[in-house]
Structure formats: C-alpha cells, structure tokens
Amino acid sequence: MIKVEEKYTVANMSAECLKKIIELENDLTGKTNQNIVLIAYEPKHPEQQ
C-alpha cells in the first residue's frame, strides 16, 4: 500500500483513477458542505489476474 497525501492510502490503483477520485471528492464536498470520502475499487484486467 502507498500513502498518498494525508488522507489517501492506495493499493494497485492508477494515478489517473486516483486523480479522478480526488476531483470527485472535492467537487462533492464543495457542493454539500460535508466531508465526503469515497472508497474506490479498480478491478484488475483479465491479463493481470
């Protein structure tokens, strides 16, 4: 597992996917005035299994 920034821990997730998750969290947090935390899962591609 890799610690990214203060609140993110990722394992086997692409940088592009993590960036999209952070952007979505920030957008939802701003719209709702609540601290939104998303839990994401990026499935392995069949050739990686």
Residue-level pLDDT at 2: 56
pLDDT tens-digit readout, 3-49:
566 666 666 777 888 888 889 989 999 999 998 888 877 677 666 55
pTM over 0.85: no
Cα separation, 21 vs 6, whole angstroms: 15
Distances (CA, A) of 49 to 7, 24, 45: 28, 28, 7
Domain positions in the chain are: 13-48
- Among residues 36, 33, 4, 6, which one has the least CA distance to residue 17? 4
